[in-house]
């Protein structure tokens, strides 16, 4: 076992490089650039074995699906399990015979020949922080509290790569982490994402931001024309201070440090780093292919960074607005698992991941780029009372592709319920061992910490059965996935079909909730003979009395309602504003006044579903607004009414729960006492017309100033 004892070198006066750098004020990017550049001079660990895949990867894109993706709704569907385990989705055939994924990954299924799927990953740890530590370091957590970062933590595997396999082209950016730090609810930053006991100089270089937003810039690399001037001024000042010293009297470590300083200045003033982050230079169709959302654009940015020479890019699954202190943030789907994976998570992943594999392949980069997609654990086989799946470390899946990976195969097997491995159980150390091996770092090697103690890189051996220079099989079939079934995720959409254009008929209120859209009650099956209820007329919704020629008398009792509803996509903590454009309609103003408000009233409502079928007949009102409705003679005289409600947990540290989901409704209710009996000859026209419905959302704010 090879050992490299490379404790921090002291300069001739006893100061460490970091101390000299701090004193010199040269860390313009928040990065210890000379120390980072020193890594170029460090020899790689280990003696290359004869395996042809050793060192096959020049770089790595590590897609970290924080929260824990469900194995059932991604790479390990269980169609023969009971309904409360298999979930509502079906498996689809990939383009490799005999391999199936969930129907929510149609694009990924079409390129299964390039992927190796591990279905038997396991930590047996159901805690986010400690299980993620194991996945990100290769070592089981040992320490006082995995929810906090300590200088004694085991180093993130990317920190080891930064130290022993730095970029030869862009050394200061050998290991890049985007678009945010790893955080649990609010600002809990767990262990496993830093250089740990190797020292903070080996932390991954984090760049916080949202490349999907216009004007995206990276802090520290966006100082414009002042950056070179400031750096050169500091360099000249340093040169004046040091000029009296005789270079011959200075030790080799100091001279080497000077070399790293100069390289750091050259790098920043040349604009290499700025160019790598200039995602706005990508063609519009390429950006759209990755998905117009934060994660998709970060995946595209990762491709740009490895293309520019970055050794490892870690793409952290980003938090969405308002997803702190709720019961289904990120991939952590304790509630509404089926809705989250169908509406947001799988479309986002399927589009961005498939775009990356396709893009790398077309550019000739896939053969030298290792791509890994994994979370910290999986989800429980059994679906809970809120339609969610809970933490599950006993088994989960991960996907690998690219340099040295033999695609078109599945490794390991879980039981019939997707609960436990039954073949080829894999622990995280074997994954980190595989990454090291493919990068040309001997997994059996050791390194020394600051105190001179030796540590083995990883406890696991590489997954040699996954490795090769050719696909595992040359057989191909047509994938049965339907891309139209899983449209790209658009974060700006909270409601489907904000207007009613193209909708010929409303679905009944007890219709299945997927796909999401407008539901109503009462609603006729043919659009005719509806006396009291909701329907669509000339691309607008109409709710109330419809002057229809009914076949039998209709009795309307006090409290009876006509309701138009839709489920909200992926509700989170924050403030919702419902805006509805509507008007009163009747054959005359006098006729309208006979019914509104004498017998009927209109209100807007935000509500919570109370049953798994998403039948809004049984719902819990969360906020209401009584609409002061008036007759409008002009067909275009719509008035906008608003309902605003903030949904946050008032107790610090608690989660706000929407339970089985949140919906919005436009309701016409009979308020008068007694009953009305409307015959086919006496059915009036007195209703509201709804032109469109908008739902705006501002997520609960989180303190973004936390640093690692």
Using the structure block, give the residue that is written with the tokens 């993620």. 132
Mention every residue, 6+ apart, whose C-beta is less than 8 A from residue 655: 185, 325, 326, 327, 649
Domain termination site, one of 450, 468, 486: 468
Q: What does the pLDDT average to over 662-682?
A: 90
* Eight-class DSSP state of 70: -
Query: Do 384 and 440 have their domain in common?
Result: yes
Q: What angle do CA 193, 197, 199 make, to 5 degrees?
A: 80
Query: Do 446 and 529 have their domain in common?
Result: no
Residue 559 lies in a domain: yes
Q: What does the pLDDT average to over 557-580?
A: 96
Q: Does 562 or 223 have the greater pLDDT score?
A: 562
pLDDT band at 447 (very low <50, low <70, confident <90, very high): confident
Q: Is the pLDDT of residue 600 over 60?
A: yes
In contact, 648 and 656? CB cutoff 8 Å = yes
Q: Does 237 or 445 have the greater pLDDT score?
A: 445
Largest CA distance in the chain: 110
Residue 140 lies in a domain: yes
Residue 35 lies in a domain: yes
Q: If you compute the radius of gyration of the chain from its CA atoms, what whole number of angstroms results?
A: 30
The predicted-structure confidence for 79-127, as pLDDT tens digits, reads as follows: 999 999 999 999 999 999 999 999 999 999 999 999 999 999 999 999 9
Give the pLDDT confidence score for residue 37 in this predicted structure: 41
Q: Which domain holds residue 454?
A: 25-468
Q: Is the pLDDT of residue 174 over 60?
A: yes
Query: Do 430 and 512 have their domain in common?
Result: no
- List the structure tokens of 295: 């994660």
Q: Is the pLDDT of residue 352 over 90?
A: yes
Query: Do 401 and 516 have their domain in common?
Result: no
Query: Do 177 and 66 have their domain in common?
Result: yes
Provide the CATH number for the domain around residue 528: 2.60.120.260
Residue 705 lies in a domain: no
Q: Which of 20-24, 69-73, 522-526 shows the lowest per-residue confidence on average (mean pLDDT)?
A: 20-24
- Cis previous bond, 425, omega within 30: no
Domain termination site, one of 443, 468, 493: 468
Number of domains in the chain: 2
The predicted-structure confidence for 50-84, as pLDDT tens digits, reads as follows: 578 999 999 999 999 999 999 999 999 999 999 99
Query: Do 568 and 420 have their domain in common?
Result: no
Give the pLDDT confidence score for residue 170 in this predicted structure: 84
Using the structure block, give the residue that is written with the tokens 């509502």. 88
Query: Do 401 and 454 have their domain in common?
Result: yes
Residue 611 lies in a domain: yes
* pLDDT > 90 in the chain, percent: 69
Sign of CA dihedral 451, 452, 453, 457: positive
Using the structure block, give the residue that is written with the tokens 């990867």. 57
Residue 289 lies in a domain: yes
CA distance 276 to 313: 12
Instruction: Indicate the pTM of the whole model.
Output: 0.86
In contact, 8 and 146? CB cutoff 8 Å = no
The predicted-structure confidence for 224-254, as pLDDT tens digits, reads as follows: 444 444 444 544 544 544 455 444 444 444 4
The predicted-structure confidence for 292-342, as pLDDT tens digits, reads as follows: 999 999 999 999 999 999 999 999 999 998 988 899 999 999 999 999 999
Residue 341 lies in a domain: yes
Query: Do 433 and 558 have their domain in common?
Result: no
CA distance 139 to 155: 9
* pLDDT > 70 in the chain, percent: 83
Q: Is the pLDDT of residue 654 over 90?
A: no
Give the containing element (helix H, strand E) for 121.
strand 115-121
Q: Is the pLDDT of residue 205 over 90?
A: yes
Q: Tell me how crowded residue 4 is: count the other CB atoms within 10 A of its CB.
A: 16
Q: Does 171 or 392 have the greater pLDDT score?
A: 392
Mention every residue, 6+ apart, whose C-beta is less than 8 A from residue 313: 59, 60, 61, 62, 176, 177, 178, 301, 302, 305, 306
Residue 501 lies in a domain: no
CA distance 326 to 108: 29
Query: Do 513 and 446 have their domain in common?
Result: no
CA distance 331 to 632: 47
Q: How many helices (H) and strands (E) does the chain have?
A: 15, 30
CA distance 379 to 384: 11
Per the prediction, the chain carries an average pLDDT of 86
Provide the CATH number for the domain around residue 185: 3.40.720.10
Domain termination site, one of 405, 437, 468: 468
Query: Do 416 and 524 have their domain in common?
Result: no
In contact, 149 and 396? CB cutoff 8 Å = no
Query: Do 561 and 461 have their domain in common?
Result: no
Query: Do 432 and 559 have their domain in common?
Result: no
């Amino acid at each position: 076992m090879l050992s490299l004892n490379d404790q921090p070198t002291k300069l001739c006066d006893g100061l460490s490089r970091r101390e000299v750098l701090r004193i010199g004020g040269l860390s313009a990017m928040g990065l210890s650039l000379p120390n980072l550049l020193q890594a170029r001079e460090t020899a790689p660990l280990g003696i290359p074995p004869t395996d042809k895949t050793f060192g096959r990867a020049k770089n790595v894109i590590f897609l970290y699906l924080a929260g824990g993706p469900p194995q059932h709704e991604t790479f390990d569907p269980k169609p023969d399990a009971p309904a409360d385990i298999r979930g509502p989705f079906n498996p689809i055939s990939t383009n490799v015979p005999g391999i199936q994924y969930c129907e929510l990954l149609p694009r990924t299924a079409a390129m299964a020949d390039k992927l190796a799927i591990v279905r038997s990953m396991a930590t047996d740890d159901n805690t986010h922080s400690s299980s993620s530590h194991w996945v990100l370091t290769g070592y089981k957590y040992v320490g006082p509290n995995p929810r906090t970062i300590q200088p004694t933590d085991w180093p993130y595997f990317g920190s080891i790569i930064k130290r022993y396999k730095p970029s030869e082209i862009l050394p200061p950016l050998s290991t890049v982490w985007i678009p945010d730090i790893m955080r649990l609810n609010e600002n809990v930053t767990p262990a496993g994402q830093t250089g740990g006991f190797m020292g903070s100089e080996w932390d991954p270089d984090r760049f916080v931001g949202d490349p999907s937003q216009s004007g995206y810039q990276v802090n520290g690399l966006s100082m414009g024309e002042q950056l070179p001037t400031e750096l050169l001024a500091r360099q000249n000042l340093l040169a004046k201070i040091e000029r009296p010293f005789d270079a011959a009297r200075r030790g080799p470590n100091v001279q080497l440090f000077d070399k790293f300083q100069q390289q750091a200045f050259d790098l920043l003033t040349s604009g290499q780093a700025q160019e790598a982050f200039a995602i706005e230079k990508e063609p519009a169709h390429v950006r759209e292919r990755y998905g117009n959302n934060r994660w998709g654009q970060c995946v595209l940015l990762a491709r740009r960074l490895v293309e520019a020479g970055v050794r490892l890019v870690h793409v952290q699954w980003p938090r969405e607005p308002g997803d702190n202190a709720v019961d289904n943030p990120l991939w952590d789907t304790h509630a509404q698992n089926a809705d989250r994976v169908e509406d947001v998570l799988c479309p986002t992943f399927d589009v961005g991941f498939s775009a990356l594999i396709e893009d790398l392949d077309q550019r000739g980069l896939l053969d030298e780029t290792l791509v890994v997609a994994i979370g910290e654990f999986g989800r429980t086989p059994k679906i809970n009372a809120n339609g969610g799946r809970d933490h599950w470390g006993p088994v989960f899946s991960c996907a690998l592709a690219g340099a040295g990976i033999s695609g078109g195969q599945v490794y390991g097997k879980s039981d019939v319920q997707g609960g436990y491995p039954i073949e080829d159980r894999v622990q995280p150390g074997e994954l980190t061992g595989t990454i090291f091996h493919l990068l040309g770092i001997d997994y059996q090697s050791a390194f020394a910490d600051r105190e001179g103690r030796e540590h083995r890189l990883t406890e696991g051996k590489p997954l040699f059965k996954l490795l090769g220079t050719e696909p595992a099989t040359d057989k191909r079939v047509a994938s049965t996935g339907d891309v139209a079934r899983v449209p790209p995720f658009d974060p700006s959409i909270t409601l489907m079909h904000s207007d009613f254009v193209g909708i010929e008929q409303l679905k009944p209120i007890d219709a299945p909730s997927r796909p999401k859209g407008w539901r109503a009650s009462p609603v006729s099956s043919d659009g005719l003979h509806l006396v009291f209820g909701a329907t669509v007329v000339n691309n607008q919704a109409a709710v109330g009395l419809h002057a229809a020629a009914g076949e039998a008398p209709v009795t309307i009792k006090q409290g009876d309602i006509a309701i138009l509803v839709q489920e909200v996509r992926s509700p989170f903590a924050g403030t919702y504003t419902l805006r509805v454009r509507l008007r009163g309609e009747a054959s005359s103003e006098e006729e309208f006044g006979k019914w509104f408000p004498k017998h009927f009233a209109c209100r807007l409502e935000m509500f919570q579903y109370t049953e798994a079928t998403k039948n809004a007949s049984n719902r819990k009102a969360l906020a209401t607004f009584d609409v002061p409705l008036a007759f409008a003679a002009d067909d275009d005289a719509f008035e906008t009414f608003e309902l605003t409600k903030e949904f946050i947990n008032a107790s610090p540290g608690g989660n706000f729960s929407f339970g089985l989901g949140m919906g919005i409704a436009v309701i016409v209710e009979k308020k008068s006492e007694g009953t009305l009996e409307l015959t086919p000859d006496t059915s009036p026209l007195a209703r509201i017309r709804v032109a469109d419905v908008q739902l705006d959302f501002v997520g609960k704010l989180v303190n973004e100033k936390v640093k690692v």
